[in-house]
Amino acid sequence: MFDFIKGNVSEILETETVIEVGGIGYLISMPQSDIKSLERNIDYKIYTRLILRQDDIGLYGFLNKDERKLFDLLTKVTGVGPKGGLGIIGSLGASLLRQSILLEDTATISKAPGVGKKTANRICLELKDKISKLSFNDNIDLEIINVDQNKSPALEALISLGYNEYEAKNALKGIDENEELSVIIREALKVLGK
């Protein structure tokens, strides 16, 4: 219903802000990281999502579309509601969350408040393929999270081409490592293209 709300920040609360537009104050729940970057009496463009529940109507907001896209995905995972989604995004940030899901790094996801190992596993399982197919405004560097000094040149090349580490490793299985690098990459791309 609302794609974004652009207006003046009249109040900043612990987990919410009030954006005034045309004499109306919209109470918007936001990730903690976004709340901390707001300043009173400044105009902001907040990308919103209106969620209607049987016992609640909530307006959720984000400073960028990537966060909102992740929020939409998270709230479709069983056991992760809107407040949980905000908490995960607010504590990990959009880039780290995406990296963690793509690398199936459940330990990092479990660091978010209220997220246990089972929920982290479910998030990875349900969102990995979806996230790998979506485009985001910021490019992520998969090596920030998983620093592996023994990565093969072929694996690094596939990652630099935009494949996540999991996909690249699976594509390289069964390919003779003694082949020339260009042959290895060509064979891996054939597997990834199926």
Nearest to 61 by CA among 16, 108, 23, 1: 16
pLDDT by position in tens, the chain (length 194): 789 999 999 999 999 999 999 999 999 999 998 999 999 999 999 999 999 988 889 999 999 999 999 999 999 999 899 999 999 999 988 888 998 898 888 988 998 988 999 999 999 999 998 988 877 776 554 444 344 445 678 888 887 787 767 677 878 888 888 888 888 888 888 888 75
| Phi-psi map region of 102: left, alpha, beta (phi>0 left; psi -120 to 50 alpha) | alpha
- Residues 140, 163, single domain; the answer is no
CATH assignment at residue 15:
2.40.50.140
Which domain does 19 fall in, by range? Answer: 1-63
Number of structural domains (the chain) is 3
Residues 59 and 127 in one domain: no
27 lies in the same domain as 87: no
CATH number reported for the structural domain that contains residue 96 in this entry: 1.10.150.20
Q: What is the pTM of this model?
A: 0.69
